[in-house]
Amino acid sequence: QVQLVESGGGSVQAGGSLRLSCAASGFTFSRAYMGWFRQVPGKEREGVASTDTYGGAFYADSVRGRFTISKDIVRRTLYLQMDSLKLEDTALYYCAAGTTSRWGQLLRVGDYPYWGQGTQVTVSS
């Protein structure tokens, strides 16, 4: 059974940093493609960053240069390092996974069959 558990959210001032973690179980982690998404009330869930089976990393234009996605195969954990946070980064952040081998940018909600419960990030001025 696939499980994704996010952690690391919280409140931070603009310009600060947070690192989100997503602990994964129930599938072959090294083969998976994974991503981070975020959603604010009243808006659609949007892709933030993704990593494909072969280690490629892809970012939404709004976070490129500020966020870094990484995958620790030994710890079976996906990370999202968020630096230079802005007010508009405030959202509920979700981890997502697909268990088949895929490559390329995968930032659409429909690309992912498995989702975590989310962790809240709040950026204040």
pLDDT of residue 35: 98
How many angstroms separate the CA atoms of 27 and 75, rounded?
13
**Which whole number is the average pLDDT over 75-101?**
97
Res. 33 pLDDT band, cuts 50 70 90: very high
8 Å CB contact between 8 and 20: yes
pLDDT of residue 68: 98
**Which whole number is the average pLDDT over 31-57?**
97
Of 9-13, 21-25, 81-85, 102-106, the range with the lowest mean pLDDT is 102-106
Res. 1 pLDDT band, cuts 50 70 90: very high
CA dihedral over 17, 54, 45, 60, signed as positive or negative: positive
